[in-house]
Amino acid sequence: MTEESKLAFQANKSANIIRNLCDLYGLLLQDAADIYYQSDTSELIEDGIADLHCRSDKYLATIIWDEYQERQNRLETYDDLPNIQSTNHLNKHSVNCFGTGPIGRG
């Protein structure tokens, strides 16, 4: 398969998944495209990970929708957390949340 044909296949696969998102969940085309291109699954499909491109478009649309719903639920959970505004008390000797070094360094 040439590089050009791979790109054409990927574009067609993406378009079909987006169309399935519209059909299955009543989404507008732009919303479905946004959900698709912001998903981790779309990156895996394009990278050829786990042969996801071999799965049906409808199946992949449901996986991407589930991923979107989970992300929305996490965002709602974070919205319920207290809003911490200031980090002025931190200095270059403060340790990051993993305890591995200064904040901003790995």
Indicate the angle between helix axes 57-79 and 29-37, nearest 10 degrees: 80
Per-residue model confidence as pLDDT tens for the chain (106 residues) = 798 988 898 899 999 999 999 999 999 999 999 999 999 999 998 888 878 888 999 999 999 999 999 999 988 877 665 554 434 444 444 444 444 555 444 4
Per-residue confidence (pLDDT) for residue 81, from 0 to 100 = 58
Residues 35 and 21: beta-carbon distance below 8 Å? yes
Write down the pLDDT at residue 47.
Answer: 85
Residue 36: per-residue pLDDT: 97
Note the pLDDT of residue 90: 44
How far is residue 22's CA from residue 16's CA, in Å, rounded to a whole number?
10
